[in-house]
A = this chain, B = another copy of it.
Amino acid sequence: MASHYGKRRAAALDDGGHDYLLRRRDIMQAAGRVFKGKGLAATNVTDIAHEAGIDRATLYYYFGSKEEIFEEVVGNAVEANTIRAEALRAGDDPVPEKIRQLIVELMESYAEHYPFLYVFIQENLAQLGKIRPDWAQEMRQLNRRYEEALVGILTAGIADGSLTTSGDPKILAYGLLGMLGWTNRWFNPAESAQTATEIGTTFADSFLTGLARSAAPTA
């Protein structure tokens, strides 16, 4: 599983040293704040430089464009989440435990990379594909692999009897990903009374064990 994001990051690490990387991280965080406020399309490099407290020329020493910042952060995170989902699927844990980990870890990833993954969810991937077709294509493939890993976990759980549902695994997967992805509309880790881990645990409990005291559907 080749990771060109990982390689690029590794090359920067070799080239730049500790201070270079710290400054780069500051710029990425500044960019995240601007993207969250204005959206990707309306943001320009000057906005990001201003937010980071540096000038435009200095920013170009660290990143070639606003797209490069966005793509590096989002690409790294989406790739890591996908590889993790595939590892969970391939692993030996009981299926309910795999689902619990996947839910909690995706919430934690949203918080860790806040607001980049949420901006990515809010953007139109078809629109992004017009500007950066290769990157958008790669993201589409990673999203598909993540979804397949989750559907695979659900299907295995139905087959081995650890999950009891007559629902379609794909519909259940979309429902779960909706519960998680929708957090882009209301969760801000810096302001939330509950941590990403706590919210993920609430979601995992409701999805795995249900809310109703009686196990039988009421209708």
Q: Is the CB of A97 within 8 A of B219?
A: yes
Question: Which residue of chain B is the closest to A157 with respect to CB atoms?
Answer: B211
Q: Does A146 contact B (CB under 8 A)?
A: no
Q: Does A218 contact B (CB under 8 A)?
A: yes
Q: Does A209 contact B (CB under 8 A)?
A: yes
CA of A81 to CA of B174 in the docked complex: distance in angstroms?
A: 23
What are 16 A-B contacts defined by CB distance under 8 Å?
A94-B218, A97-B218, A154-B211, A165-B205, A165-B206, A171-B199, A174-B183, A175-B179, A175-B203, A178-B185, A179-B182, A181-B182, A206-B207, A208-B212, A208-B218, A210-B211
Q: Does A163 contact B (CB under 8 A)?
A: yes
Q: Does A130 contact B (CB under 8 A)?
A: no
Size of chain A's interface in residues, with CB distance under 8 A?
A: 50
Q: Is the CB of A163 within 8 A of B194?
A: no
Residue numbers in B under 8 Å from A167 (CB-CB): 202, 205-206
Q: Does A152 contact B (CB under 8 A)?
A: no
CA of A109 to CA of B162 in the docked complex: distance in angstroms?
A: 33
List the 7 shortest-distance A-B pairs measured between CB atoms, nearest first: A178-B182, A210-B210, A167-B202, A96-B212, A209-B210, A208-B212, A175-B179
